[in-house]
A and B are shown apart, each in its own frame.
Chain A
Amino acid sequence: MAWTRQILRVNLTEGTCIAEPLNMDWANQYLGQRGLATRYLVDEIDPKCDALGPDNKMIMATGPLTGTMASTGGRYSVITKSPLTGGVACSNSGGFFGAELKSAGWDMIIFEGSSPRPVYLNIENESASLEDASDLWGKSCWETDEVLHAKHQDPQMRVACVGRSAEAGCLFSAIVNDLHRAAGRSGVGTVMASKNLKAVSVRGTLGVGNIKDPARFMESIAAGKKVLAENAVTGEGLPALGTQVLMNVINEVGAMPTRNMQEVQFEGAHKISGEAMLEPRASDGKPNLTRNGGCFACTISCGRISTVDREHFSVKEKPQYWGNSGGLEYEAAWALGSDTGVDDLDALTYVNFICNEDGMDPITFGATVAAAMELFEAGVITTANTGGVELKFGSAEALCWAVEQSAVSEGFGADLNLGSRRLCEKYGRPEMSMTVKGQEFPAYDPRGIQGMGLAYATSNRGACHLRGYTVSSEILGVPEKTDPLATEGKAGLVKAFQDATAAVDSAGLCIFTTFAWSLDDISPQIDSACDGDWSPERLVEVGERIWQLERDFNMKAGLTGADDTLPERLLKDAAKSGPAKGKVCELGSMLPEYYQLRGWTTDGSLTAETRSKFGLPA
């Protein structure tokens, strides 16, 4: 089993919370979490609906291993239609909220409709109720978490909520759980706020006791943990330096998107790297990094717990930010740092705190500020727009000002909260938006890592590294090294990563395990916990089915093969330095083969044969 076989349906319009059985036919085809919730979404909403209207639904979904003792088995995902891309959104988060939800007895929560007034959902095991949240509206994520804990007098209650940015309609708002973990991308927090749903608080004491073969499960998860502990990446590198270990690597190989992706190497990379986070600072002798931190059941613990230098201009007069909080991960450090040209580690840490406090995706936020900086330097945006602020590349002061404006959607913050595509369109320079399907790029320039260009162009949720992380092979040599500048073989590589990732994202496990685990390590953990056959081959099949289902949703939502592309800057402007100097992303030489491998037409549409093969709904 491992599924609780029970889902909670919350109708926000009617104010009802009703339990219903999990559709086990779908669980057998889509496993859980990302895949299973997408199957429900496809069945229940019109793909062309307004993402911020009451007809959209939002699903918080766990996987079958969420809440178990499997390493990293604490994940949940939020699945909905994205207001940023118009396609499917699926944002995955760690922390402790997902495991708590599962331990309360629920595989997923489906939110439908829209509440006439602000509410939060409170869950205590089988009991679920909508409560008034008028006193929480207008509060940040951190304040909301504090108020709810005080109100319910339960320190072990877990809270997922939206901040002020989401209330104001910021299109890249996140859902923040456990203060600094987030379902971050694609505006899932914006959808939550559009339903007048401020928070979900949950306390679960039932545990996950319905394991199919407990003895075999304990053996398989122990074997898995041994592999993680003995692997240099998951046992040493990630605990010590976190994802920030990549900052110097990616800069050295010439794939560091810099100043709105105008360049591929950042001269200040070392100052904002994982190594720099360990160096004592001049003022108090303490490093930026206090310690690492782990999510529920995780034996990797890549999380960063950091402080900002109290003497730094961003917090000097703000003692509320002097303590430890969620520090920089590589994606935030890149977007807030090299993409804006800012090499001030304390400023980036402060801005990251604010993104957590008020629930903004730091990737899209940073990339949107970078686009605004390019607009400013081109004279399209002036100090008349910014209220006098010189929004120039490299300005830490401007970056800190921007995040404070964005958090409460004041002044120019309202423009930033459109995301870079709509911002650049508003100011008549759409070519300055570095996005795919309306979502901003993560931290890898596809001129220097060709496979990532294809992964971005074909990602079902817009530009994203977590849909097919071929960086692992092309740069990091995991599981085996391929040439980052070659295009041959990349179509198959991208497809393989996409399918395997979809399966892992549907299990309740963290994708970072796959730096050490193959599906051969993961399969026995799922197979011993869940009814049915969960061989590695079956997981690949399930992963591909999920990918096809997401693609089908996007096509029905109005996206086409023409959206499987990259900004002209990456296709026509050659990299200026590093090993990729003189190269553009050769997307055109990879995309046709990819379509063929997927079983799609030459224009990227699903064929009847492919639909039939994977049993996709009509």
Chain B
Amino acid sequence: MKITFKLYATLQHLLPRAAVNNAIEIDVDDDVTLHQIIEQFHVQQKDAHLVLINGTYFDHEARDQTGLLKEGDVVAVWPPVAGG
């Protein structure tokens, strides 16, 4: 299935050059986990602080689960960030 993958902040350099606006469309297996997608882009687990599917946060435990994703979903990843 096709999903959109986004990497932000100090991780954005890990995206392929084809990415536009920090996002790239990728093909993934139906039983893929969030961890597997993140590893595919060489993001270390400690750097994957915020992992969102369609804006909703998934913690480290959930990132090993299969079946979380469906066609057209958006996965977005940030390192630890804050501001105000």
Contacts and interface: CB of A to CB of B under 8 A. Distances in A.
Contacts of B50: 249, 475-477
Nearest to B7: A275
Interface stretch (B26-34, B35-43, B63-71, B72-80): B72-80
B8 A275 contact: yes
Given A270-B22, A481-B59, A579-B54, A248 B8 contact: yes
Nearest to A466: B84
Interface stretch (A42-50, A231-239, A365-373, A591-599): A231-239
Contact of A252 (B47, B76, B83): B76
A469 interface: yes
B78 A249 contact: yes
A579 B56 contact: yes
A511 B84 contact: yes
B55 A246 contact: no
A243 B84 contact: yes
B81 A237 contact: yes
With a 10 A CB-CB cut-off, give which of B10, B50, B82, B83 has the most chain A CB atoms.
B83
A83 interface: no
B8 A476 contact: no
Contacts of A231: 80
A489 to B, nearest CB: 16
A237 B84 CA distance: 13
Interface string A254-276: 10000000000000001000110
A240 B78 CA distance: 14
Contact of B83 (A242, A275, A477): A242
B79 to A, nearest CB: 6
Interface string A309-345: 0000000000000000000011100000000000000
A274 B55 contact: no
A243 B81 CA distance: 9
A241 to B, nearest CB: 6
Interface string A477-489: 1100100000000
A22 interface: no
A611 interface: no
Contacts of A330: 83-84
A308 to B, nearest CB: 22
A329 B82 CA distance: 12
A469 B50 CA distance: 18
Contact of A245 (B9, B21, B47, B52): B9
A223 to B, nearest CB: 20
Interface of A: 231-233, 236-238, 240-246, 248-249, 252-254, 270, 274-275, 302, 329-331, 465-466, 469, 471-472, 475-478, 481, 511-512, 515, 578-579
Given A245-B83, A275-B12, A578-B55, 6 more contacts: A236-B10, A237-B9, A252-B6, A252-B74, A253-B57, A476-B50
Interface of B: 6, 8-10, 12, 21-22, 47, 49-50, 52, 54-57, 59, 74, 76, 78-84
**A-B CB proximity, top 3 nearest:** A243-B83, A232-B80, A515-B82
27 contacts: A231-B80, A232-B80, A233-B82, A236-B10, A236-B79, A237-B9, A237-B81, A240-B9, A241-B9, A241-B10, A241-B81, A243-B84, A245-B8, A245-B9, A246-B83, A248-B6, A248-B8, A249-B81, A254-B55, A270-B21, A274-B9, A330-B84, A477-B80, A481-B57, A511-B84, A578-B54, A578-B55
